[in-house]
Amino acid sequence: MAEHESHQSNDSPLLETVSLFQGLAPAERQEVYQAAHHRAVEKGELFFVQGEEAHTLYVLTQGRVRLNQLSPEGEQVLLRVIVPGQLFGGVAVLSGTAYPAAAEAVVPSEALGWDGETMARLMERYPAIARNALRLLAERIQELQERYRELATERVERRVASAVLRLARQTGRKVEGGILIDFPLSREDLAAMTGTTLYTVSRILKRWEKEGLVEAGRQRLLIRSPHGLVALAEDLPPALEAPS
């Protein structure tokens, strides 16, 4: 029957953990799931491009997606990295405008999509979805405001430290020796997240490596000492090795 070739179920076990659908009964989630269409994109491909009229709101189910915003002059900013369970494209759909950024899969990725009208209908029927959406957007605003302040008032090294920690929290995988950022992340990506250049990021990572804070490879970042980075991000006195 109408069955997607999904990974491990024809049910909506995945949606259980999606905060947009929190508070729905299983049967309701099932209905929401039925209304979705499934989309898979290759590494490097886009779910949507910046400027395209927004039609679909996605929830990522597999992979990692970057939201890039391009300035009129062609400079890129990496607004955020989406991990499974998170919403993307929603802002544009809800405000009825064009996508303000492009969504690029950094690894092979899959998502569920609902077009604007469908989602409006679902929200109508299940106000909990609208409430959740409000809460999610409000949280996004708070985070954005904080990052805005960070960018406005803090030096590069600290911004990079914050960005790395944020990534670690979002998409870090515990491995022996530390926390590994779980997708290919280049110096240039980090630069685009923090408003600096890839050269400066490279130098900073080298320095951190010397200090034993991280282990940085080609598109790879292992955080050996989250504490050390937190200290940097918050400008604590650089943690003495052996307090007397």
Interface residue list for DNA (CB under 7 A): 155-157, 186-188, 195-200, 202-203, 205-206, 216-220
The closest alpha carbon to 223, from 180, 169, 176, 183, belongs to: 180
CB of 97 to a second copy, least distance (A): 7
Sign of CA dihedral 17, 23, 28, 34: negative
CB of 156 to DNA, least distance (A): 4
Give which of DNA, a second copy, none residue 244 binds (C-beta under 5 to 8 Å, depending on kind): none
Give which of a second copy, DNA, none residue 202 binds (C-beta under 5 to 8 Å, depending on kind): DNA
Give which of a second copy, DNA, none residue 198 binds (C-beta under 5 to 8 Å, depending on kind): DNA
Pick between residue 9 and residue 142 the one whose CB is nearest to a second copy: 142
Pick between residue 100 and residue 195 the one whose CB is nearest to DNA: 195
Pick between residue 155 and residue 218 the one whose CB is nearest to a second copy: 155
Pick between residue 12 and residue 194 the one whose CB is nearest to a second copy: 194
Tell me the DSSP string of the chain: ------SS-SS-TTGGG-GGGTT--HHHHHHHHHT-EEEEE-TT-EEE-TTSBP-EEEEEEES-EEEEEE-TTS-EEEEEEE-TT-EESHHHHHHTSB-SSEEEESSSEEEEEEEHHHHHHHHHH-HHHHHHHHHHHHHHHHHHHHHHHHHHHS-HHHHHHHHHHHHHHHHEEEETTEEEESS---HHHHHHHHTS-HHHHHHHHHHHHHTTSEEEETTEEEES-HHHHHHHHHT-----SS--
Footprint of a second copy on this chain (CB under 8 A)?
69, 71-73, 75, 77, 79, 90-92, 94-97, 100-101, 123-124, 127, 130-131, 133-135, 137-142, 144-154, 194-195, 234-235
Pick between residue 9 and residue 95 the one whose CB is nearest to a second copy: 95
CB of 211 to DNA, least distance (A): 13
CB of 47 to a second copy, least distance (A): 17
CB of 187 to DNA, least distance (A): 4
CB of 202 to DNA, least distance (A): 3
End-to-end Cα, the chain, rounded Å: 70
Give which of a second copy, DNA, none residue 156 binds (C-beta under 5 to 8 Å, depending on kind): DNA
